[in-house]
Amino acid sequence: EANESLRFVGVIIPLSNRPESEITLETISSWERRNANFIILYNTEFVCVDAKG
């Protein structure tokens, strides 16, 4: 697969159980990766766990 190095490795979980707050891995993959290891916080609704570089 092309751009395999740009794949997001980790899990995004919503801090609340609101369906409209879900962020998919596909969405994350479309973002430009700036760091191998990172934490995503989106309006305190999400936390990125188990991220690997």
What's the farthest any 2 CA atoms get from each other in the chain? Answer: 34
Tell me phi and psi for residue 21, to 5 degrees: -95, 0
| pLDDT tens, position by position, 9-47 | 455 555 555 555 455 555 555 555 544 344 444 434 445
With beta carbons less than 8 A apart as the criterion, state whether 44 and 14 touch.
no
C-alpha–C-alpha distance, residues 50 and 14, integer Å: 14
The separation between CA 44 and the C-alpha centre of its own chain, rounded to angstroms, equals 14
Q: Which residue stretches of 1-53 are H helix? A: 25-30
Specify the pTM. 0.17
